[in-house]
Chains A and B, each alone.
Chain A
Amino acid sequence: MALSGISRVRRQLPTSPWLFAAPGLLVTGAFVLYPFVSTLVNSFTDRRTLIPGRFVGLANFRELLHDDMFWTGLRNSTLYVLGVVPLLVVLPLLLALLVQKNIPGITFFRSAFYTPVVASIVVVGLIWVWLLDDRGLVNAVLETVGVGRVGFLSDQWLLLMSAMAVTVWKGLGYYMIIYLAALGNVPRELHEAAAVDGAGAVRRFLSVTVPAVRSTMVLVGALSSVAAFKVFSEVYLLAGPSGGPAGEDTTLVMLVQRTGTGLTGRVGYASALSVVVFAVTVALMLLVLRADRKEDS
């Protein structure tokens, strides 16, 4: 009886894993792989929303090279990575060190730092628009202290920096949690030994904490650089659908959205843009990975 049960299980084994994986595979296939392949195919066509495309070879990619808005988008997305990633690698670590200590009331601060993560980006965006408006709270304070009004939402560069500030503010809590988990694995003895050897807080941070969480820093760097390169909501909410003054704050993903959606959307061209975003993002990940391997060796 028992033997026949085992042989039945053995017979079913080859198919069972696939059956268990089927729901996930179906969802991934339908919502990830199919759109990806479809985008790849569309990028070589002149397809529009309501008109099926014809094969145009590399025409869309050639057009990209001569599209000023593409270069503006690439510049802004790259600047976003350069501006946001270092802050999102370092600040959450410092924050995690602060809230790691078990002192009364620390749970409140942990929750407070995490609140922006769970807040809706639209609500967050609107709040920041009100704060940074010409007549908003920030400008009112600046005017009171004699600095005068600053065009946070009307100057091309200040607008981009304001959007970066929102991204950093919103992401701090998320990466802080990742660092908290990593810090929990740092052996206490290492800190104690360093302290006995006379290392101060800064020295212990640089010589014990940072090496211990270096892999987590690489992970945070990779995740935040991908997210920063794909930035859309923050810039869209602060700069508006036209991408800031004269469209100068447009990011690549905003350009994908603007070009490829609507009844007159150029799906083929937007797909080519998406493929470029994909390629750059993968390149970013590989770059971070290479840096990590170099450090290891």
Chain B
Amino acid sequence: MRISRRAFAAAAVAVVLPLSACGSGGEGGGSGDASGKVEGGITFQTWNLRANFKPYFEGLIAEFEKKNPGTHVKWVDQPAEGYADKISADAAGGTLPDVVNVSPDLVAPLAKAGLALDLDKAAPQYEKEYLPGAWAGHRIPGQPGTYAFPWYLNTGPLFYNKSLFKKAGLDAEKPPTTYDDLFADALQLAKKSGGKVATLANVPTIEDFGRYGVPLMNKEGTGFTFNDAKGVELLTQYKELYDAKALDPQALTATPESSGKKFLTGAVAMNPGSALDLGNFKKQAPSLYKNIGITDQITSTGHVNMYVMGVMVNAQSKRKPAAVAFAHFVTDAAHQMSFAKKVAIFPSTAGSLDDPYFTKEDGTDETRVRVAAAKSLKTAVNYTPVLFSEQMKIALRNEVAKALQGKQSPEEALDNAVKECDRLLTQQG
């Protein structure tokens, strides 16, 4: 059987061409004027919420349409996987929905491309309804404006395995509360278990540097600064943990899911989480649940880390008044409170965290975690800079990994990471 050159060339083209799928860009812009009658059809996109909260959102939409006759909301939900890519494709193709569920790092490039509506201009009257920190969560350094309504917040405690603590001769009722305690306990756990039990399962991320008190970015938002002495100090500590196997050997390639599994199987003694995880422990690892310890996030700054979710209005929407009204409707105090009672999240609206639901314990672990989290959220910080892209996260992670493997010093690693992140920042424009 002879195979002709042409056949080979044709096969090569057919096999390789699909590699070339690339998006097309679109011009930014759009008027910031959102005044006018609330009417017409709009599209609302959520981030992997349909499976668990379909009745809630259908009720919410029905309520909005009833309150605003002449409006129609089409709800679309996208899976968690590839959400940023979906938004990219829509933004580039000019098919971005009118109201979009976003996180701050997604808002930043959309705002820079003129696709996110500036609420400071279009809807400044709503600012006072939200926690100041949450409202500021969708601001971009070096660019005036606020580009999304704050929606729900989340934070969580640090879970630890009391049984593993006891086996290592540590006091299970006194978990570490400072970084020094954490590192000392981790080294002891590794030593006593012969390197079989690590305390941490993830390499330090940008938010870890932030929580350690490392300045991450200059005020102008033009360059990163996490390669200072404090940053080097944290990475040096992690290197010591890695060498002693107090940091899991697979931490260099770990994901939050894989480290969660390691905690479930008792391979790792501590793991960050949220109130949602308690139910998971109960179901998937009952023996771990009996030995679960709950402590606060460790921080040198006094402020725990929080995650902010937002609702953005497309600046190019043809129904801006309806889109702004609906985005506000979804995120107002009453609806955030109602949503928070369905799932372990926290409202970003002013005063909501003082509701007895977030201040009174009933003796269960769930309420204990909820109350503690709500209390810490009042002063919490979203440490991850909004301009810190996925590519930057990978760049930092890879340089940190090189330092942990001893291929370069912590100073060199952080200098290289800052250099690469600054380069990516410049390219982002």
Contact = CB atoms under 8 A, between A and B. Distances in A.
Given A47-B25, A230-B19, A264-B389, A282 B12 contact: yes
Given A51-B113, A218-B3, A246-B401, A154 B88 contact: no
Given A32-B17, A262-B389, A285-B8, A49 B429 contact: no
Prevailing SS type, chain B contact patch: helix
Interface in B93-148: 106, 109-110, 112-113, 115
A73 B8 CA distance: 25
B25 A48 contact: yes
Interface centre among B92, B106, B267 (most CB of A within 10 A): B92
B199 to A, nearest CB: 15
Contact of A239 (B13, B17, B253, B424): B253
Interface string A266-288: 11001100100110011001101
Interface of B: 1-3, 5, 8-9, 11-28, 84-85, 87-88, 91-92, 106, 109-110, 112-113, 115, 248-250, 252-255, 258, 262, 265, 267, 389-391, 394, 397-399, 401-402, 405, 407, 424, 427-429
22 contacts: A32-B18, A48-B429, A50-B113, A52-B25, A52-B27, A53-B25, A134-B249, A134-B250, A135-B265, A153-B250, A222-B3, A222-B8, A226-B12, A240-B253, A247-B398, A263-B87, A263-B109, A263-B110, A264-B428, A267-B22, A274-B20, A277-B19
Given A35-B22, A226-B15, A246 B407 contact: yes
Prevailing SS type, chain A contact patch: helix
B2 A215 contact: yes
Contact of B3 (A227, A263, A281, A289): A289
Contacts of A247: 394, 397-398, 401
A125 interface: no
A133 interface: yes
Contacts of B253: 153-154, 159, 239-240, 242, 244-245
B267 A135 contact: yes
Interface in A11-44: 31-33, 35-36, 38-40, 42
A151 interface: yes
Given A134-B267, A246-B407, A154 B16 contact: no
Contacts of A253: 19
Contact of B25 (A35, A36, A50): A50
A38 B24 CA distance: 9
Nearest to A155: B249
Closest 4 pairs between A and B when the two form their complex, measured CB to CB: A39-B20, A215-B1, A50-B113, A246-B401
Nearest to B249: A154
Contacts of A49: 23, 25, 88, 91-92, 109
Contacts of B258: 129, 240
Contacts of A296: 2
B70 to A, nearest CB: 32
Nearest to A53: B25
B91 A35 contact: no
A57 interface: no
Given A49-B91, A244-B253, A285-B12, A265 B23 contact: yes
A68 B401 CA distance: 16
B394 A242 contact: yes
A92 interface: no
A38 B92 CA distance: 14
Nearest to B252: A245
B235 to A, nearest CB: 14
A187 interface: no
A227 B2 CA distance: 21
B22 A278 contact: no
A75 interface: no
Contact of B249 (A33, A52, A151, A262): A151
A264 B19 CA distance: 19
A190 B18 CA distance: 43
Contacts of B424: 264
Contact of A274 (B8, B19, B25): B19
Contacts of B405: 245-246
A121 B389 CA distance: 28
B20 A264 contact: no
Interface centre among A247, A263, A288 (most CB of B within 10 A): A263
Interface string A63-78: 0000000000000000
Given A35-B22, A49-B92, A215-B2, 4 more contacts: A242-B397, A258-B390, A259-B391, A285-B9
